[in-house]
Amino acid sequence: MSKIDEVLKLLENLEEKVPDIIGSAVIRTNGLVVASALPEESNQRMIAAMSAALLGTSKRTAEALFNGTFQSLNLELDKGNMFLKRAGRVILAVITNKEPNIGLITLEMEETSNSISELFKIEE
């Protein structure tokens, strides 16, 4: 099984565990999609580009405010939410319906991002 297939399986499992999730993707920090389980009607390239832009701003904010490292972001919108979670060298992005179970999403994204991080770990 390829890494992409493994990532797609992780995304599928995440969406099965959290019914509020309507789509998910793993995105490189430059805005390119690694693997996607986003709905067909969504603009995957735009979601990936916006995720990378949000990551960049969030990273700079974490560094400027706390001399820290970006971990996650929850963007609450009127029609749904977008969650970003650092997963090593890539980003786990999730879109949800309105008023999701944030605790469950956070918990499951943490587990999934750890698994994704292991897949993309640089071998030394």
From 5, 10, 35, 36, select the one nearest 23 (Cα to Cα): 36
Report residue 123's pLDDT band, with 50, 70 and 90 as the boundaries.
low
User: DSSP character for 51?
Assistant: H
- Identity of the amino acid at 115: S
**Which tens digits make up the pLDDT trace of 1-46?**
888 999 999 999 999 999 999 999 999 999 999 999 999 888 999 9
For residue 124, pLDDT over 90 is answered with no
Compute the radius of gyration of the chain from its Cα atoms: 14
Whether the Cβ atoms of residue 107 and residue 92 lie closer than 8 Å to each other: no
All structural domains of the chain: 3-118 (3.30.450.30)
User: DSSP character for 122?
Assistant: P
Tokens at residue 95, please?
């879109």
Q: Where are the alpha helices (DSSP H) in 18-122?
A: 44-66, 102-119
